[in-house]
Copies of this chain bind each other. A is one copy, B any other.
Amino acid sequence: MECCDSVCLIKDGWFREINDMWPGHYFALKVDSVLSCVKSDYQDIMVLKTTNHGNALILDGVIQCTEKDEFAYQEMIAFLPLCSHPNPERVLIVGGGDGGVAREVDKHPLVKKIVQIEIDQKVIDASKKYLPNMAKGFNSSKLELKVCDGFEYMKCHKNEFDVIITDSTDPIGPASALFSESYFSLLKGALRSGGIICSQGGTAWNDIETVKKTLDHCRRHFKEVRYENMFV
């Protein structure tokens, strides 16, 4: 998708999240102004100032978060696995380029070390500039941030983490590999014994087939698998 395509999703002052992933319906946000629209090596990155939801990060035309309600997602994807583990000392975050998950993981008193692997430096840059309340996660003294490919990183880091959180985009573009079975196999290999993973798994109402497939992948590699919902 070219950058101009994202801007073209704005019509009559509304950004319309029209996408083939959810045919027949869309969600729209009223736009005050376009703060930024750049094209990285991986995706189209747009930041909107909305009238009622604060600033919104849009990747490849899909809303990733808005300042108004991002806490609901970040808190859930971070604290479900952290609070399910007796001693989550070492945490890996894959994705999460807005910094919001790092901000939440940093708060857990038993976490000593956070490694974050984000593939797209331009998402980090846009978030630091326009989403400062999320990007403050990058200031965590526990954090080691690496701009590289999560697949490649995990191939060389086995048996290292108590919790791994995948905060990915939807299964198109750069994140599609993060929904494959080989990804969940890599996650298992990077975990210490007793480790827990928590991954963005899609929305059942939008694409039940992807959710089912992802759960099947997980069940092949993990003893206990659960699907949790958060509505924003």
How many chain copies?
A: 2
A16's closest neighbor in chain B, by CB?
A: B28
Question: Which residues of A (174-232) have their CB < 8 Å from a CB of B?
Answer: 205, 229, 231-232
Cα(A16)–Cα(B25), bound, Å: 10
Cα(A53)–Cα(B25), bound, Å: 9
Interface range on chain A: under 10, 10 to 19, 20 to 34, or 35 or more?
Answer: 10 to 19
Contact of A232 among B14, B26, B53, B205 (CB under 8 A): B205
Residues of B within 8 A of A16 (CB): 28
Q: Are A26 and B28 in contact (CB under 8 A)?
A: yes
Cα(A229)–Cα(B23), bound, Å: 24
Question: Which residues of A (33-80) have their CB < 8 Å from a CB of B?
Answer: 50-53, 69
Residues of B within 8 A of A28 (CB): 16, 25-28
Cα(A158)–Cα(B24), bound, Å: 46
A residues with a Cβ closer than 8 A to B are: 14, 16, 23-30, 50-53, 69, 205, 229, 231-232
Known: A23-B52, A28-B28, A229-B231. 6 other contacts (CB 8 A): A23-B51, A24-B50, A24-B53, A25-B29, A25-B30, A25-B52
Give the 5 A-B CB pairs with smallest separation, nearest first: A24-B52, A231-B231, A24-B30, A24-B51, A26-B28
